[in-house]
Amino acid sequence: MSLTRIDVGGERPYQVVVGGGAAAELPYLLGQDARTVVVIHPVNLGGIAGPVVRVLREAGYLVHAEQIPDGEAAKDIAVAAGLWSRMAAHHVSRGDAIVGLGGGAATDLAGFVAATWLRGIRLVLMPTTLLAVVDAAVGGKTAVNIAEGKNLVGAFYPPAGVLADLACLASLPRAEYVSGLAEVIKAGFIADPVILELIEADPERAGQPGGPHERELIERAVRVKAAVVTADLREAGPREMLNYGHTLGHAIERAEGFRIRHGAAVAIGMVYAAAVARRAGRLDEATGWRHRAILAAAGLPTGYPAGAWPELREAMAVDKKSRASRLRLVVLDGLARPGILDDPPEDLLEQAYAEVSEPEGTVPPGLRSEGACDRATREGGAVKGEWGGGRGPEASRKAP
C-alpha cells in the first residue's frame, strides 16, 4: 500500500507517514548515530510491538523492548522514572532513540521520557489508536499526570517522525475507535467539511476499523491538526481552535472522575458549543443541529443529565481556556469558521446546556473506560449503573 506523507512544520519539521507498512520507514527516521533503540509499548500490545522490534534488530540496532502499564496508568512519573533507570542500564546515549508505540497514553509517556532523558533524544511515534493517530501523536505535546491533575507535567517535544500503520487499528475495540472518531468529526467542523460528508454517507461503517473511507478520513484529520500546530507550535493562538468541544468536554471528564472516554465527552461538548453559538446568533440552525445528527449516527453521546450543570459550570471556570476567570469558548461562526466567544452571558450558557441535557443514561455502553471503572470500584469509588452515581476517587482532578 502506498504511503502518504503529511508535513508538520516548526523548528524541527517532521512528517506523519500514513499507510500500511509504515514501520519499514523506521530505520530512516532513527538517525545516523543511533545504535541502541528503546521501544516503549503497553504491556498488552506486544503483538504489535514484536514485528517492530524484529525489523529494527534485522536492521542492526541493539533493541530493548520496554513494557509499560496499559492506558492512563502509564502516564505516571513513577513509570517514567522506571524507564529512566532502564535507559541508564542500557547505556542509552544522546545519539540513540526511543520508539513510542501505542495509544495516546503511551505516546505521551514515551515523548516525555524522550524529552527528558539526557535533555532530549530522538523520538519516533507509532500510534495504534485512532485518537493517537489523528491527535495525540501529532503536535509535539508530551505529558504525565499527577495527583492534582491530568497532563499537568510535560514538555513540547516534537518527534523525528510519526508512523501510522493503519493495519494496527483493526484490533481496536469499537468503543475506542468511535471515541477517536469524535476528534475526526471535530476536524470536520472546524476545518474540513468533506470529513463530515464522508461520515454522513455511511456513519455505521465510519465507526468501525477498516471502513471504506478510513484512510481518507484519517489523512484529512491529520492534515487539519498538522496545519494548525504548524501555525502555532506552542498553543499561543490558532491551536486554541483544536479545543472545540473540549471546554464542556473536560468538565464532563472531571465530573465523571475520568471514567468516560475522551471522545464521548468531547462529542457532548461539541453539541453544547454548537448550541451556544446558535443562541449567540453566530451559527446557523442547520449547522448547529448537524452536530447532534452526525455524532449520534456515529454512535457518540450527545446529551448529559440536567442536574449536572452547576458542577460542570464550576469545572469550566477552571479550564485552561478561561483567562482571568473569564470563560473563553471555541465556537463556530459557520462551517469550518472557528472563533472565540469571550465571556458569554451566564443565562445563554445555561439555556444552551438545557438543550444538551437529557434524561440520565445517554452514554452508550462501552464509551466509559472499563479499566478506570475497575480501578475506581477497587478503590471504593461508586460506579453504579450507566451514569455511575457519578463520582469516583479522581473526581476532584482538574482537566487542563
Q: Could you give the residue numbers annotated as active site? A: 119, 141, 183, 225, 235, 239, 243, 246, 250, 262
The helix, strand and coil proportions of the chain, stated in percent and rounded to the nearest 5, come to 50, 20, 35
**Residue 167 or 297: which CB sits closer to ligand NAD?**
167
Q: For residue 80, what is the enclosing H or E element?
A: helix 77-89
CA pair distance 97, 38, nearest whole angstrom: 6
Distance CA(76)–CA(59), nearest Å, equals 32
Cβ proximity to ligand NAD: between 149 and 393 the closer is 149
Q: Tell the smallest beta-carbon distance from residue 385 to ligand NAD (Å).
A: 23
Residue 340's φ and ψ, nearest 5 degrees, are: -115, 135
Question: Please, which residue, 95 or 393, has the CB nearer to ligand NAD?
Answer: 393
Q: Which three cell numbers stand for residue 142?
A: 508530551
CA-CA distance, 299 to 330, in Å (whole number)? 24
Q: Does 129 bind ligand NAD (CB under 6 A)?
A: yes
List 26, 105, 298, 329, residue binding ligand NAD (CB under 6 A): 105
Question: Considering the rule CB under 6 A, would residue 70 count as an interface residue with ligand NAD?
Answer: yes
| Contact of 122 with 110, CB cutoff 8 Å | no
| From 132, 134, 175, 255, residue interacting with ligand NAD (rule: CB under 6 A) | 132
CA distance 181 to 58: 35
Q: Determine which residue in the list 25, 96, 108, 253 makes contact with ligand NAD, applying CB under 6 A.
A: 108
Which of 5, 28, 44, 237: binder of ligand NAD (CB under 6 A)? 44
Q: Count H helices, E strands: the chain?
A: 15, 11
Looking at the Cβ atoms of 290 and 319, the one nearer to ligand NAD is 319
| 193 CB-contact burial (10 Å; exposed 0-12 / middle 13-18 / buried 19+) | middle
Q: Which of 26, 34, 124, 141 touches ligand NAD (CB under 6 A)?
A: 141
How many of the chain's residues bind ligand NAD (CB under 6 A)?
A: 29
Q: CA nearest 204: which of 231, 242, 177?
A: 177
**Residue 159 interacting with ligand NAD (CB under 6 A):** no
How far apart are the C-alpha atoms of 257 and 16, rounded to whole Å? 33
From the list 58, 148, 171, 194, which residue makes contact with ligand NAD (rule: CB under 6 A)? 171
Q: Does 102 bind ligand NAD (CB under 6 A)?
A: yes
Q: Which of 42, 100, 188, 203 binds ligand NAD (CB under 6 A)?
A: 42
Q: Which residues bind ligand NAD (CB under 6 A)?
A: 42, 44-45, 48, 70-72, 75, 102-106, 108, 128-129, 131-132, 135-136, 139, 141, 151, 168-169, 171-172, 176, 262
